[in-house]
Amino acid sequence: MARDYYEALGVSRTADADELQEAYRRLARRYHPDVNKDPGAEERFKEVNEAYHVLADPDTRARYDRFGPDFRRVPEGAERAWAGAGARRPGGRPPGGAGRGRTFDEEQVFVSGEGLDDIDLEDLLGGLFGGRASGPMAGADQEAELELTVEEAYRGGRRWVSLAGPDGQRSYEVTIPAGVVDGQRIRLAGQGGRGTGGAGPGDLYLVVRIAPHPRYRLDGRDLHVDLPVSPWEAALGSTVPVDTPGGEAKVKVPAGSSSGRRLRLRGQGMPNPRGQPGDLYAEVRIMVPRNPGRRERELFEELAKVSDFDPRSGR
């Protein structure tokens, strides 16, 4: 069984949104495979990523708190039936607490701890379908996360995805649209939970999660990237190359640019199949030679003598 999501992030079950985000950022920086080359770092990063994206969404967090690690397999609307199930049973009472020994499968829901009775699936779902759950019942929709790099999300394409399920490991060939963004769902029709009584299966939704990138920062469909330039390129102006997920582009650096200046490349951000693509923002970062040669040093010394520029006064 996967580790408890709160434990994975190292936060309490009462943690607020800011605490969750702070814990995620700290752990993501530590375990990102581009930074941490330890064999187990990538799996730990995936665990942290999944835990954060479940708990950061109030709806999925509520379902996780109520149903535990099997929350994705519970049909939509079952929360209301669950809340009232204890009250409908003789001597029963509504279940309390979060995530204590709760599992869900196609036959029953079991609640353990503090004297609670077993709750049969028919009791749980009867209120949802106007009576006992004895007729055909469509399979539940399911969700799983699909982690992509910025480059994969930009290009799209086809890839195989393996997911662990109640029937073991299953593989799917998935078409990823170019320009998918974080949180977007990809529907695999008929690949969800099995139906009963001859009813059809539900759908499987892959929720896109874009992994942190060492170079690119995403803001919706806009991309942000640092643009290293030399002091003379920044002072005199220049046209310099910049890497984008779609390949190399050219950006014009105006004369007199200082570090922090943002240069916009319209339409060079994430594609959008239904509208305008995002933009790419290149932020100027002035770099100086780490070990200047003798002539370079002489020229810098000469510039220091003749220039009256004071960067601290802005003149």
- Residue 156 sits in a domain of what CATH number? 2.60.260.20
The dihedrals phi and psi of 39, each to the nearest 5 degrees, come to -55, -35
Ramachandran bin of 312, using left for φ above 0, alpha for ψ from -120 to 50, beta for the remaining angles: alpha
Question: Which of these three, 101, 126, 151, is where a domain ends?
Answer: 126
| pLDDT band at residue 92 using 50, 70 and 90 as cut-offs | very low
| pLDDT band at residue 127 using 50, 70 and 90 as cut-offs | very low
Rounded (10°) angle between helices 58-67 and 41-55: 100
Give the pLDDT score at 151: 93
Q: Which of 74-83, 135-144, 157-166, 214-223 is least confident?
A: 74-83
Residues 65 and 170 in one domain: no
Residue 141 · residue 202 · CB < 8 Å: yes
Amino acid at 57: D
Residue spans of alpha helices (H) in the chain: 5-9, 17-31, 41-55, 58-67, 78-88, 121-126, 150-155, 231-236, 294-306
Q: Which of 207, 86, 44, 73 is nearest to 141 (CA)?
A: 73
Q: CA 26, 30, 32, 34 torsion: positive or negative? A: positive
3-state secondary structure of 158: strand
Question: Which of these three, 97, 126, 155, is where a domain ends?
Answer: 126
What are 133's two structure tokens?
């759950």
| pLDDT band at residue 75 using 50, 70 and 90 as cut-offs | low
CA atoms of 146 and 210, how far apart (whole Å): 8
Give the pLDDT score at 114: 33
| Residue 86 in domain | yes
| Residue 134 in domain | no
What residue numbers bound the domain in which 19 lies? Answer: 5-126
CA atoms of 188 and 206, how far apart (whole Å): 8
Residue 63 · residue 5 · CB < 8 Å: no
Burial 274-286 (b: 16+ CB within 10 A, else e): eeebbbbbbebeb
Residue 159 · residue 147 · CB < 8 Å: no
Residues 42 and 154 in one domain: no
The dihedrals phi and psi of 58, each to the nearest 5 degrees, come to -55, -40
Give the pLDDT score at 124: 43
What's 195's DSSP letter?
Answer: P
Residues 182 and 222 in one domain: no
Residues 197 and 273 in one domain: no
Mean pLDDT in residue range 255-280: 92
Domain count for the chain, please give it: 3
State if pTM tops 0.85: no
Question: Which of these three, 75, 93, 126, is where a domain ends?
Answer: 126
CATH number for 122 = 1.10.287.110
Average pLDDT for the chain: 79
Residue whose structure tokens are 């995403």: 218
What are 92's two structure tokens?
């029963």
Q: Which of 140, 143, 142 is nearest to 199 (CA)?
A: 140
Residue whose structure tokens are 């593989």: 171
CA atoms of 315 and 313, how far apart (whole Å): 6
Residues 94 and 155 in one domain: no
Mean pLDDT in residue range 60-83: 70
Q: Which of 78, 63, 69, 65 is nearest to 47 (CA)?
A: 69
Residues 163 and 87 in one domain: no
| Residue 135 in domain | no
Residues 121 and 50 in one domain: yes
| Residue 189 in domain | yes
CA atoms of 191 and 31, how far apart (whole Å): 32
Q: Count other Cβ atoms within 10 Å, centred on residue 292.
A: 12
Residues 200 and 222 in one domain: no
Give the pLDDT score at 315: 60
Residues 12 and 109 in one domain: yes
Q: Indicate if the pLDDT at residue 93 is higher than 50.
A: no
| Residue 72 in domain | yes
Residues 10 and 122 in one domain: yes
CA atoms of 244 and 151, how far apart (whole Å): 9
| Residue 315 in domain | no
| Residue 131 in domain | no
| Residue 110 in domain | yes
Q: Indicate if the pLDDT at residue 126 is higher than 50.
A: no
Residues 21 and 112 in one domain: yes
